[in-house]
Amino acid sequence: MAGSSRVDATAFGVHGALLALVATCTWWRRVPDWLRHWVPVIAIPVLYAESPAIIAAAGHVEMLDPAILKIEHAIFGNPSSDLAQAWPWTTLSELLHACYLSYYAIIVYVPVALFRSRRYTDYSRAVFALLLTFAACFLLYVVIPVEGPRYRGGADAPGGPVRTATLWLLENGSSRGTAFPSSHVAVAVAQTIIAITLLGRRALWLAFVTIGLALGAIYGGFHYAIDAAAGAVLGAITASIGLRLGTRKAAQANATAPT
């Protein structure tokens, strides 16, 4: 296998176990319907966690931050450290960090809302678009591995319980090399588009949270501004494509269903 000499057996074992789980939930009829529906979402954290192993398997020895920083400085300056210095307010810091943490709820918000309403066709469309967004991010991480400012000093943002919780979570759960594009921003933008498309105006609040999340990613020193910008563009594209393809798949399935 390509890159097998660069990745330990544990990583291959976890990946194989994940593939086995997905295959079992897809083909074994005794698996509950709810688990069959949710296993793609459940698999997302594992796929994210194995990103460093895949980056290593691809042969990357060094991160590409220097090249990204040249573009960052040319377009944006240095907002990943300058914003916190320009706005050194604890209340603002805590609010932006709370928006950044909301990412984990945003991932499941649309699927849960649709699943609880038994809108299973729309649920499948939403999950397909979500997974397409993650897949695009994961692919780019392998091609363009970037650490982000957190591994290079980060920002001196005002502290508080929310920032402390954010730093702890990232320290224990983030994957090195997965800064460009920001999956936080990409997924939040994608979910905003998906939510407004499928849930209507009641999901407009998500757009404001997403703006706060993107600002929090930069303000907290977790991402370069270009990471957030690239994530926003990617999320908009994958959401639009995913919803369109999901609609087409649903129409084909309905057309071939027995009557």
Tell me the C-alpha distance between 37 and 120, whole Å. Answer: 9
Nearest to 218 by CA among 173, 189, 191, 184: 184
Q: Within a 10 A sphere around the Cβ of 214, how many other Cβ atoms?
A: 25
Per-residue pLDDT of the chain (259 residues; tens, 9 = 90+): 444 445 566 655 666 666 676 677 667 777 778 778 888 888 888 888 888 888 888 888 889 999 999 999 999 999 999 999 999 999 999 999 999 999 999 999 999 999 999 999 999 999 999 999 999 999 999 999 999 998 887 778 998 999 999 999 999 888 889 999 999 999 999 999 999 999 999 999 999 999 999 999 999 999 999 999 999 999 999 999 999 997 776 565 555 444 4
- For residues 58 and 3, give the distance between their C-alpha atoms in angstroms, rounded to a whole number: 6
Q: 146 - beta bridge partners?
A: 178
CA 112 to chain centre: 17
H runs (alpha helix) in the chain: 9-27, 33-49, 51-57, 65-75, 79-86, 90-101, 103-116, 120-143, 161-173, 183-199, 205-219, 225-256
CB 249 within 8 A of CB 128: yes
CB contact at 8 A, 78 and 43: no
Of 151, 148, 167, the C-alpha closest to 218 is 148
What DSSP assignment string belongs to 118-141?
T-HHHHHHHHHHHHHHHHHHHHHH
Domain locations in the chain as residue ranges? 1-61, 64-256
At 8 the pLDDT is 61
Checking phi first, is residue 53 left (phi over 0); if not, alpha (psi -120 to 50) or beta?
alpha
The confidence score (pLDDT) of residue 259 equals 46
Task: Name which of 199, 221, 36, 5 is nearest 106 in CA terms.
Answer: 199
Please give the backbone phi and psi of residue 178, each rounded to the nearest 5 degrees, phi first: -115, 40
> Quick one: which of 101, 98, 90, 65 has its CA closest to 80?
65
